[in-house]
Structure 1
Amino acid sequence: MKKIGVTLLIAIIALLQACGGDATSSSSSNGSEGAVSSDNPVDITFAEPARILSFAPLYIAIEEGYFEEQGINAKISSGGGGAQVIATLLSGDSQFAINAPRAMFSALDSGEDLIAIQSLNSALTYEIALSEKYLENKNIDFESPLEQKLEALQGATIGIDQVGDSSDVYLRYLMEKYNLDQSGVKGVKLTGSGPKIGGMQEGIIDGGIQSPPFAAQVDANGGGELVLRLSEEEMYADLVWEVVFAKKEYIEKNPELAKKVVKALGLGIELARDNPEKAAASIVSYFDGIDEEMIASSLKGLQATYVGNGEMTKSGWDNAQGPLVEFSELSGVSKEHDTTEDVLWTNKYIKEAFSE
C-alpha cells in the first residue's frame, strides 16, 4: 500500500512539473528569460525614439532573420523621443533600448543602473544641408575646409528637431572647439525632414541638421544640398552613437540573451557596411516615402560609421559625454560618469558572440 502511495505521489509531482513548465526555459518575474534557442524562442522589445536610418542594423537583423537564427522574436516600440525610450525601458515594456548616448546619460544622472552592450554606429551621423541661396552667399560647398564651413554657419538659422537636443549640442560644441561664436547660430524647432525642407524652400531657415537620409531628401526636393557631416571632425569620427543598452540587472540575469542580441545586431552592422544595396532592399519598407535608391545611397554615406560588430571604446564614450556635460543647461546631462570599460558599457558580449 505504501509503495502505491509513493508511486502516486511521484506521478502527481511529474504532472505538476509538466503543467508548470521548466523554470529554466521561460521568463520569470525576476527578469530572467531562461534558455533561448530556435526551439524555445523568446520575445523581446527594442525601444527606439523614432524611425532613423542610423538604426539600420536593427531593421536588417529583423528582416534578414538574424534574430530568428538566435531564437529571438524581436519587436520594436518606436516614437516619443529619448524620454519615452527610457520610460519604456524602465517600466519593463521593453527589454532593450537603442538611442543616442544622451538618453542613457540622463537616466544615469537620475540614478538608474544601466549598461550599454553595443554601439550601432562608431561616429556621429548628423549632417547639415544648406539652401542653395545661402551656399551662394557664403561661397562654400561640401569640398570646402571644415573650419570654413563652420565659419559660414555663423548667423545661420538652422532647423533642428528640438532646441537643446543632441544635434544642437554637438554642433555648438564643435563651433566653440574652432573658436567660433556658437551663439550666432539660431536653432528653430522643425521636427522631421519635411518641415525642414519646406522651411528651406520658403526661405524661413537657411538649412537643417539631421541624420541621413536628410541631405539626400533635401537634394531630391530642390531645397539645397549636403555641406557638412559632423564626423568630418576627428573627435566626432570616434564617438559611440545609437547605443544598445538595458538595465544592468537584466543583462546580468540574461548573459546568453545579451550575447545573442549583439550577435544578430553585429551581423546587421556587417551587412549595412559591406552590402548597402542589399541592406536597402531589405529595409525599404521601414521608411515611408523614401525609395530604395536613396536609402542605399545614404547607407553608403554611413559606411564609415559601421565599424566592426559594434565594439565600443573609452575614447568614444568620452567624446560622446564631453559636449553634453559642457552644455549641460541644454542637454540636461550634468554629471561626468566613469567611462572605464565594464562600468557603464562593455564589449564582453560582442567578444563572446563573435569568437564562437
Structure 2
Amino acid sequence: MRGLRGFVTVVCSLLLAAVLGACSSDNSQDEKSSIKLAEVTRSIFYAPQYVALENGFFEEEGLSVDLTTTWGGDKTMTSLVSGSSDIALVGSETSIYVHSQGANDPVINFAQLTQKDGTFLVSKKAHDNFSWDDLRDSNFLGQRKGGMPQMVGEFVLKQNGIDPHQDLNLSQNVDFGNIPGAFQSGDYEYVQLFEPTASKFEKQGVGHVLASFGEASGKVPYTVFMAKQSFLNDNPETAEKFTRAIFKAQKWVENHSSEEVAEVIQPYFEDTDSDIIADSVERYKDSGAYALNPVLDREEWNNLKDIMDEAGELPEDIKHDTLVNTEIAEKIMNE
C-alpha cells in the first residue's frame, strides 16, 4: 500500500500549503458559466477534450472552460478538493484513494473520457515475433507505484504469467516526466510509454512499439471527469452542459479521421509534428482507448478494483454507486 500512502501524504501536504480561503470557498454558485478544469497531464490520450475546446462545443453549451495542466494525480486532486478547480480529469483510482481517507465531500466520477490504459510496451530492439515471455530477466523501466499505468502494467504481465517483481529487473525510481529520457539514455530494455512519445521513438529509431497495455487489460475508467458532490448538487445544469459537450466531442472523434483529429488538436502539441499526432490518435483509436460515450459502467468500475486489488493498492471495496454518477451521462445520451 505504499502507493496509496504516498499519494495521501502528498495530497495532505499540498492541501496544507494551499490558500485556506480556497478550502472554505462557497461552491454554491448558481449554474455557473465559467468552469475551472484541471487535467492530470497534457496528452494526445485526451484528444476528445481538446476537440471539445477547439470546436467550440463548450461554448455551444454556454460554458467558458479554463483548462490548467496540474501534472500529477496528487496535485490534480489537491486542486479539486481545495476548490482551485471545479472539475478534474484524472484516473478514477484517485477518487477511491480520497474516499478511503473519509472525505466529507466525496469526489464523484460523472463523465468518462478514456476507457482503456493508454500506454504501450516499447523495446529498444525490434521483435519479429514478440511474446510477453521475452520480458523475463530484462531491465524494465516501470511507472509510479500506485498509479494506473503501473497497476495495469503489472496486471497484464501477471495475466501473461510474469511476476513483475520476481521475473523482471524492475525500476520504479524515475519521475514520470523523466521516463522517456531515462529509457533512451539508460540500459533499460523495455518501458511503458504514452503517446506521442512511443510514436516519436519509433520514428527516430530509438524504440519499437510491441504491444498495447490497453488492449491487453480490457476496459477500465482510466481517465474520468470528476467533481465534488457539492459541486454537482449545486450546479446540475452546468454538469449536464459539460457532459453534453464531451459527448459531442467523443462522437466527433469517432466519426473523423485521425488526420482530422490531429489538425484540430495541434495547438495543444505545438512541439509535435502533425503526422506523429495522427499516428498517436490512430493507435488510440485502434486500441479502443477513447470512450465512445461518457458512461462509466459497473463492469469497468469492478475491473478497476480488480486491477488495484491485484497490485495491493485497493484500500477498501467501494461500490460503483458510491463514487460514480451515471445519471448525468445517461440523460445526455438519451436526449
Inter-partner Cα distance in structure 2 for 1:324 and 1:248: 24
From 259, 265, 275, the equivalent of 2:246 is 265
The yes-or-no answer on 1:77 pairing with 2:64 is no
The yes-or-no answer on 1:177 pairing with 2:152 is no
The question of whether the paired residues in 2 share the 8 Å contact of 1:163 and 1:187 is answered with no
Q: Report the residue type matching 1:116 in the other structure.
A: N
From 244, 251, 264, the equivalent of 1:282 is 264
Query: Residue 224 of structure 2 aligns with which residue?
Result: 243
The question of whether the paired residues in 2 share the 8 Å contact of 1:129 and 1:226 is answered with yes
The question of whether the paired residues in 1 share the 8 Å contact of 2:27 and 2:234 is answered with yes
Query: Residue 326 of structure 1 aligns with which residue?
Result: 310
**SS at structure 1 position matched to 2:323:** coil
**SS at structure 1 position matched to 2:47:** helix
Inter-partner Cα distance in structure 2 for 1:321 and 1:101: 10
Q: How many residues align?
A: 304
Written as runs of structure 1 = structure 2, the 5 A alignment for 1:100-139 is 100-112=91-103, 113-132=106-125, 135=126
The question of whether the paired residues in 1 share the 8 Å contact of 2:49 and 2:246 is answered with yes
**SS at structure 2 position matched to 1:204:** coil
Shift of 1:74: 0.4
From 310, 320, 330, the equivalent of 2:294 is 310
**After TM superposition, what 4+ stretches of structure 1 lie above 3 angstroms from structure 2?**
188-193, 195-203
Query: Residue 8 of structure 1 aligns with which residue?
Result: none
Written as runs of structure 1 = structure 2, the 5 A alignment for 1:198-209 is 198-209=181-192
The yes-or-no answer on 1:352 pairing with 2:335 is no
Query: Residue 220 of structure 1 aligns with which residue?
Result: 203
Inter-partner Cα distance in structure 2 for 1:202 and 1:90: 38
Query: Residue 27 of structure 2 aligns with which residue?
Result: 31
**SS at structure 2 position matched to 1:179:** coil
- Structure 2 runs not aligned, ≥5 long: 1-24
The question of whether the paired residues in 2 share the 8 Å contact of 1:176 and 1:182 is answered with yes
Query: Residue 299 of structure 1 aligns with which residue?
Result: 281
Shift of 1:161: 4.4
Q: Please report the RMSD computed on the Cα atoms of aligned residues, expressed in angstroms.
A: 2.1
The question of whether the paired residues in 1 share the 8 Å contact of 2:117 and 2:149 is answered with no
Inter-partner Cα distance in structure 2 for 1:62 and 1:47: 13
Q: Structure 1, residues 295-329: CA drift from partner, whole Å, max 9, x if none?
A: 1111111122223322221110111122213323x
The question of whether the paired residues in 2 share the 8 Å contact of 1:167 and 1:210 is answered with no
Inter-partner Cα distance in structure 2 for 1:81 and 1:338: 25
Q: Report the residue type matching 1:335 in the other structure.
A: E
- Structure 1 runs not aligned, ≥5 long: 1-28, 37-41
Shift of 1:196: 4.0
Q: Report the residue type matching 1:347 in the other structure.
A: T
With the length of structure 2 as denominator, give the TM-score of the two structures.
Answer: 0.84
What percent of counterpart residues are identical? 21
Inter-partner Cα distance in structure 1 for 2:136 and 2:251: 38
With the length of structure 1 as denominator, give the TM-score of the two structures.
Answer: 0.79
